[in-house]
Amino acid sequence: MKRNLPLFFAFFCGLLVIVSEFIPHRPFSLMIDTLQEWFMIISGFAIILGQISLFQSNINKIKQKDSGWMFYLAGLISFILMLIVGMFWGTQETGGLFGHGAALQAKLGMKPFDYLFEFAYMPLSSTMFSLLAFFIASAAYRAFIIRSFESNLLMLTAVIVILGRTSFGSMLTGWLPQGLRFWHLPNLSDFIMEYPNSAAQRAIMISAALGIIGSSLRIILGIERSYLGSDK
Amino acid sequence: MKGLLLTTLLFLIVLACYASPGTLNVQDVPWDEGKALNITWQTPADSIILQRADSLGVWQTIFSGPALPAAYSDRDLIPNQSYSYQLIAIGSADTDTLIVRASAKPREQWFYMHKLSFLIILVIVSLAILIYIQRARMGKEFYIRRISGLDSMEEAVGRATEKGKPILFVPGIGDLDDIQTIASLTILSQLAQRSAEYDTELIVPCRFSMVLSAAREVVKEAYLKVGKPDSYKEERIFYLTDDQFGYVAGIDGIMVREQPAANFFLGSFYAESLILAETGFSTGAIQTSGTAQASQLPFFVVSCDYTLIGEELFAASAYLSRDPQQLGSLKGHDFGKLLTIILILAGVITEIVGWHWFKAFFEGVQ
């Protein structure tokens, strides 16, 4: 029963979603939205589970003085601080337990939660994202080292695309006559992106879509059960 | 007499044409969920105002602008409810303003006709998968090509065991409603069994609470299956944060501090893919990645030792479990690929020949 009930739900809901994808009439047209709403409700309850896990794992690491325990402490303090200011004075238009905190708003220019979000969270998030630029450079360096025919080809293509997207590339081949406009770097770059690149991406997407159909069928029919914890 | 009648008729026709300088036509959008009406009009005026009567009968403007292209689609309506429209054709200074009215009812249909081609393909591919599964049940053995990214799992676990370091498994940044996350969890099940066999520590940081509870269940069952329930450490499968870059920062911290010997990035990934893979590369870990996000694959290919491309991620569970039924379903995928190739070739040929209906049918044009 413990195993059969989830399998039955997976079969029933999976079939329902497939059917409602093709039938616009009620009640089928409303079912996907309803199931998504149910998922959101269950997710909402599961958040508590996440917070408990967050507290437990961080407190354990702080207690055991694991390497970098101060980072876990900083994480916990940040969590509690945001929770308190959010609960006390609310966020944006929503008030908290102590109203909107007019005095604090006058001092900070906005609510304490929004202030921390704007001036602590956002810069930190942007910093992480900006690391991507440096990682792209290091990854590109490794990818373009000439080792084989394929890496030669990759480097050549990358150089054309990079130059084609800059004004320097446009200047380099700007003198070409009308009959040779295809070899103008921006045009060549557009060609590579539009045809070979799109073709490869679509091939991956089509095969992934087939994989999704197969995976979904295995789950709906109960052949694939390891996501439930056991395949028995 | 005949001449008089003919002249009168001609006069009436000319008068009718002159007297009806505006028409309004409202029609239900076919094969839809009954939430839209197509409105078309004919008027010599340069600009028009289109209004719809609300529940109190008050006219509310829904469109105001040039008369061309004489069509408007009114959406987000309530099915099977009658809607009245009036068109105000604004003439030039020396002509009158005309008002014409019409009403219609949007009706729910029982089939999205533009999805017929999808349905046909889905039925054919699903049937093929089911047939191959049935054949596998009857004992037929299928050849499945080697997937080096999955063969490397033993190598990665072995290396982590030799070095006495943990294995890091990242199930992507998608929630449990993402099929890539489900595929990732099925691989986690196999990986957890191997790590349990070798007594190697497994770290699974999760972005969503739903994924956390599913991952815990999967790993716990895997440890039970190999008879080592005591080795299971629940605290090593934990929630980090819902925030995308906060999650990346947390995983980067784990990789730098704990120096896992093997990293697995399997599931749905977006902008964070390269940050994760490059940090893992810098720690010297053996890395296996897999995603169906085509735009993130180049980053993984560059930074990881093995990459599962697109469908390989979904085939992983069947490949690793060696369950004949699941392997049979992989043959169904291959049939789907063959069908796609045939359809592409047929599409190219029909477009060259000039039979555009074939492409239009598969594009879902009504």
Residue A232 has pLDDT above 60, yes or no: no
A198-220 and B116-137 helices, crossing angle to 10°: 60
Residue B18 has pLDDT above 50, yes or no: no
The two structure tokens encoding residue B87: 């068109």
A68 touches chain B (CB under 8 A): yes
Are A226 and B190 within 8 A, CB to CB? yes
What Å distances lie between residue B262 and A232, B35, B336, CA to CA? 28, 52, 34
Predicted confidence at residue B244, as pLDDT, reads 93
Residue A202 has pLDDT above 50, yes or no: yes
Of B337, B265, B319, B255, nearest to B296 by C-alpha is B265
- From the number of C-beta atoms within 10 Å of its C-beta (0-12, 13-18, 19+), residue B287 rates as buried
Predicted confidence at residue B16, as pLDDT, reads 46
The overall average pLDDT reported for chain A is 89
Predicted confidence at residue B19, as pLDDT, reads 46
Q: How confident is the model at residue A230 (pLDDT cuts 50, 70, 90)?
A: low
Mean pLDDT, rounded, for A159-186:
91
The answer to whether A160 and A189 have CB atoms below 8 angstroms apart is: yes
Distance CA A121, CA A217 (A): 42
The predicted-structure confidence for B73-90, as pLDDT tens digits, reads as follows 999 899 989 999 988 887
Q: Which of A61, A64, A161, A224 to mutate to test the interface with B (most CBs of B within 10 A)?
A: A224
Predicted confidence at residue B136, as pLDDT, reads 87
- Closest chain B CA to residue A207: B311
More confident of the two residues B91 and A20: A20
Are A214 and B317 within 8 A, CB to CB? no
Residue B182 has pLDDT above 60, yes or no: yes
Mean pLDDT, rounded, for B208-229:
92
The answer to whether A112 and A104 have CB atoms below 8 angstroms apart is: yes
Phi-psi region of B158 (alpha: psi -120 to 50; beta: other; left: phi over 0): alpha
Which residue type does B96 have?
A: D
Mean pLDDT, rounded, for A161-183:
90
Nearest chain A CA: its distance from B54 CA (Å): 24
Contacting residues of A for B189, CB less than 8 Å apart? 226-227, 229, 231
Predicted confidence at residue A224, as pLDDT, reads 81
Are A216 and B179 within 8 A, CB to CB? yes
Are B336 and A132 within 8 A, CB to CB? no
Are B209 and A53 within 8 A, CB to CB? yes
A4-22 and A198-220 helices, crossing angle to 10°: 130
The answer to whether B103 and B82 have CB atoms below 8 angstroms apart is: yes
Across the interface, which of A136, A216, A218 has its CB nearest the CB of B274?
A: A136
Residue A118 has pLDDT above 90, yes or no: yes
Are B292 and A227 within 8 A, CB to CB? no
The predicted-structure confidence for B327-337, as pLDDT tens digits, reads as follows 888 888 889 99
Residue A188 has pLDDT above 90, yes or no: yes
Most distant CA pair in chain B: distance in Å? Answer: 113
Nearest chain B CA: its distance from A95 CA (Å): 23
Confidence (pTM): 0.84
- From the number of C-beta atoms within 10 Å of its C-beta (0-12, 13-18, 19+), residue B354 rates as exposed
Are A50 and B332 within 8 A, CB to CB? no
Residue A203 has a CB neighbour count (10 Å cut-off) of 15
Predicted confidence at residue B17, as pLDDT, reads 43
Nearest chain B CA: its distance from A43 CA (Å): 6
Predicted confidence at residue B341, as pLDDT, reads 94
The answer to whether B197 and B226 have CB atoms below 8 angstroms apart is: yes
Contacting residues of A for B126, CB less than 8 Å apart? 213, 217
Q: How confident is the model at residue B7 (pLDDT cuts 50, 70, 90)?
A: low
- Closest chain B CA to residue A144: B302
Q: Are strands B202-206 and B167-170 parallel, antiparallel or unpaired?
A: parallel
Contacting residues of B for A53, CB less than 8 Å apart? 209, 212, 238-239
Of B49, B52, B45, nearest to B21 by C-alpha is B45
Mean pLDDT, rounded, for A11-17:
90
Which residue type does A27 have?
A: P
What is the ipTM score, two decimals?
A: 0.88
The predicted-structure confidence for B28-72, as pLDDT tens digits, reads as follows 998 888 899 999 988 877 888 888 998 888 999 988 888 788 889
B329 touches chain A (CB under 8 A): yes
Predicted confidence at residue B45, as pLDDT, reads 79
Are A71 and B248 within 8 A, CB to CB? no
Residues 6+ apart with CB under 8 A from B179: A212, A215, A216, B314
Which residue's structure tokens are 């290091």? A138
Mean pLDDT, rounded, for B257-269:
95
The answer to whether B236 and A66 have CB atoms below 8 angstroms apart is: no
Map out the domains of chain B with their CATH numbers.
22-104 (2.60.40.10), 142-322 (3.40.50)
- Closest chain B CA to residue A199: B294
A43 touches chain B (CB under 8 A): yes
Distance CA A223, CA A225 (A): 6
When computed from its CA atoms, the radius of gyration of chain A, rounded to whole angstroms, is 27
Q: How confident is the model at residue A87 (pLDDT cuts 50, 70, 90)?
A: very high
Mean pLDDT, rounded, for A62-91:
91
Across the interface, which of B125, B189, B311 has its CB nearest the CB of A226?
A: B189
Most distant CA pair in chain A: distance in Å? Answer: 76
Residue A127 has a CB neighbour count (10 Å cut-off) of 11
- The interface residues of chain B toward chain A in range 266-285, judged by CB-CB distance below 8 A, are 271, 274-275, 277-278
Strands, E assignment, B134-179: 167-170
The overall average pLDDT reported for chain B is 88
A201 touches chain B (CB under 8 A): yes
The predicted-structure confidence for B141-160, as pLDDT tens digits, reads as follows 888 888 888 888 889 999 99
Residue B94 has pLDDT above 60, yes or no: no
The answer to whether B201 and B236 have CB atoms below 8 angstroms apart is: yes
Of A226, A104, A86, A59, nearest to B185 by C-alpha is A226
- Which of the residue ranges A173-177, A221-225, B110-114, B295-299 would you say has the lowest mean pLDDT? A221-225
Show me where the domains of chain A are located. 1-66, 144-221
Predicted confidence at residue B195, as pLDDT, reads 94
Distance CA B219, CA B184 (A): 12
Predicted confidence at residue B147, as pLDDT, reads 87
Q: How confident is the model at residue B6 (pLDDT cuts 50, 70, 90)?
A: low
Backbone angles phi, psi at B194, to 5 degrees: -70, -40
Distance CA A78, CA A72 (A): 10
HEC readout, chain A = CCCHHHHHHHHHHHHHHHHHHHCCCCCHHHHHHHHHHHHHHHHHHHHHHHHHHHHHHHHHHHHCCCCCHHHHHHHHHHHHHHHHHHHHHCCCCCCECCECCHHHHHHHCCCHHHHHHHHHHHHHHHHHHHHHHHHHHHHHHHHCCCCCHHHHHHHHHHHHHHHHCCHHHHHHCCCCCHHHHHHCHHHHHHHHHHHHHHHHHHHHHHHHHHHHHHHHHHHHCCCCCHHHCCCC
